[in-house]
């Protein structure tokens, strides 16, 4: 029984009776992509190797900026596609040398490559599963553990980003606010990234003039240090001049107070956000309908990200164990956090929005 990857792929493609030409081509592309990865990254499984030919293949790949996805196999340039494919066809792989580690390395590479969609990952996984299942069923000399690992691999669902406001929308929202208290609350969320539950727990002595940072106790009683942007100080001081006196409760003397002289609750914040959003011309109806306190927290993160702040700092500021592409928690110094907050794109927002 042959151990040639090329021969096994031909056998597999011949077995696809009744399938459309496009389906067959998709399988062929996926299997060729896997082979290309093995030739370039896993030379221990390659049986035919020639350095000059390998250099020629790499030269063709460099024409597509070195991206595996922009090779001849997916190129719209017919001549380039034929040239590169002919070079790749010369190489062969020993199929019984392919192990689960090679498969894991392939999909780790795919997942780390920008522009590779989840649908592409799922298709490549399905193609390799079908291929190795046939090889096992027909008793080709493949490693059973390789198929087992392919069956175990799961491609995580793509996370859809929540609604976030851009800079113009934020400015429009701030202009719509007619209350110093409400404006201070929105500014705190925009410049500190707090959850609404964290905002309502703030006390008067938490944000004092000249104070550089505040300790926030978040989910799971985890504490984090948040630098206080000058715009936050400005908004809070303007609010304190008109703040309604309210007695202390179990948490202390509340910073943000309701008309009933009690600590403000999250539902009040949700209501006034909805009310103000309806008056913002810059907001499309979809965002008006979905705007909530959490959207301002997400706006805080996305605005910083889009303006070049390291995601490690944002991860720390939000108190997340994971954020977007961040996989592990990374501690950063308070100085770096202050520098991150200083880069906030809305730093020129003042308390006077009448103009």
CATH number at residue 21: 1.10.150
State whether 119 and 246 are in the same domain.
no
In a domain, 121, yes or no: yes
Residues 105 and 178 grouped into a single domain: no
The confidence score (pLDDT) of residue 336 equals 45
Kindly state whether residues 180 and 45 are assigned to the same domain.
no
Report strand pairing: 213-217 vs 223-227.
antiparallel
Q: Are residues 42 and 187 in the same domain?
A: no
Same domain, residue pair 249 and 312: yes
User: Quick one: 179 and 324 in the same domain?
Assistant: yes
Question: pLDDT of 88-107, one tens digit each?
Answer: 888 899 989 999 888 888 88
26 and 106 housed in the same domain: yes
Residue 158 lies in a domain: no
- Kindly write down the DSSP assignment for every residue of 310-337, as one continuous string: -HHHHHHHHT-S-BTTB-S-----HHHH
Query: Count of H helices and E strands in the chain?
Result: 16, 4
Total domain count, the chain: 2
Q: Which residues of 30-67 are buried (b: 16+ CB within 10 A; e: fewer)?
A: bbbbbbbbbbbebeebbeeeeeeebebbeebbeebeee
Residue 319 lies in a domain: yes
Q: Which domain holds residue 251?
A: 167-342
- 9 and 45 belong to one structural domain: yes
Q: Are strands 46-48 and 92-93 parallel, antiparallel or unpaired?
A: antiparallel
- From the CB of residue 88, how many other CB atoms can be counted at a distance below 10 Å? 22
CA–CA distance from 7 to each of 15, 53, 92 (Å)?
13, 20, 9
**232 occurs within a structural domain:** yes
Joined tokens for residue 223: 């504490």
In this structure, the answer to whether residues 230 and 298 fall within a common structural domain is yes
Domain membership flag for residue 328 = yes
Dist CA 323 CA 301 (whole Å): 10
Name the stretches of the chain with pLDDT < 50. Answer: 66-80, 323-336, 355
**216 and 146 within one domain:** no
Q: Does 135 share its domain with 180?
A: no
| CATH code assigned at 273 | 1.10.443.10
Q: Are 298 and 320 in contact (CB under 8 A)?
A: no
Specify if 54 maps to a domain: no
Q: 282-299 b/e with 16+ CB inside 10 Å = b?
A: bbeeebeeebbbebbbbb
Q: Are 116 and 110 in contact (CB under 8 A)?
A: yes
- Domain assignment present for residue 171? The answer is yes
For tokens 């082979």, name the residue: 35
Asked if 144 and 278 touch (Cβ cutoff 8 Å), the reply is: no
3-state secondary structure 61-120: HHCCCCCHHHCCCCCCCHHHHHHHHHHHHHCEEEHHHCCHHHHHHHHHHHHHCCCCCHHH
Q: Mind telling me the catalytic residues?
A: 195, 219, 294, 297, 320, 329
| Distance between CA atoms of residues 41 and 59, nearest Å | 15
Do both 231 and 137 map to the same domain?
no
The pLDDT score that the predictor gives to residue 340 is 65
Other Cβ atoms closer than 10 A to 338? 17
Does a structural domain hold residue 64?
A: no
């Amino acid at each position: 029984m042959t151990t040639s990857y090329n021969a096994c792929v031909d056998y597999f493609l011949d077995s696809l009776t009744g399938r459309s030409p496009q389906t067959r081509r998709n399988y062929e592309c996926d299997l060729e992509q896997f082979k290309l990865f093995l030739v370039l990254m896993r030379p221990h499984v390659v049986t035919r190797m020639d350095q000059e030919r390998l250099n020629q293949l790499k030269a063709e790949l460099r024409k597509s900026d070195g991206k595996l996805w922009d090779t001849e196999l997916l190129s719209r340039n017919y001549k380039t596609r034929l040239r590169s494919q002919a070079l790749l066809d010369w190489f062969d792989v020993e199929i019984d040398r392919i192990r689960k580690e090679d498969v894991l390395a392939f999909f780790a590479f795919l997942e780390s490559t920008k522009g590779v969609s989840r649908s592409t990952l799922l298709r490549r996984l399905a193609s390799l599963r079908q291929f190795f299942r046939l090889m096992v069923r027909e008793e080709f000399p493949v490693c059973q553990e390789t198929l087992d690992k392919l069956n175990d691999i799961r491609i995580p669902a793509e996370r859809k980003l929540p609604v976030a406001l851009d800079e113009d929308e934020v400015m429009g929202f701030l202009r719509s606010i007619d209350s110093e208290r409400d404006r201070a609350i929105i500014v705190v969320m925009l410049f500190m990234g707090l959850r609404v539950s964290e905002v309502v727990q703030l006390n008067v002595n938490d944000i004092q003039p000249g104070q550089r940072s505040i300790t926030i106790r978040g989910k799971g009683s985890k504490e984090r240090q948040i630098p206080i942007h000058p715009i936050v100080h400005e908004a809070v001081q303007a609010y304190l001049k008109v703040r309604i006196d309210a007695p202390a409760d179990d948490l202390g003397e509340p910073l943000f107070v309701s008309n009933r002289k009690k600590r403000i609750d999250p539902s009040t914040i949700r209501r006034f956000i909805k009310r103000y959003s309806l008056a913002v011309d810059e907001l499309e109806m979809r965002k008006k309908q979905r705007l909530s306190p959490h959207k301002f927290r997400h706006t805080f993160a996305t605005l910083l990200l889009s303006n070049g702040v390291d995601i490690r700092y944002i991860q720390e500021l939000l108190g997340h164990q994971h954020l977007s592409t961040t996989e592990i928690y990374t501690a950063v110094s308070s100085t770096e956090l202050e520098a991150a907050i200083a880069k906030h794109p809305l730093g020129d927002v003042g308390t006077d929005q009448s103009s």
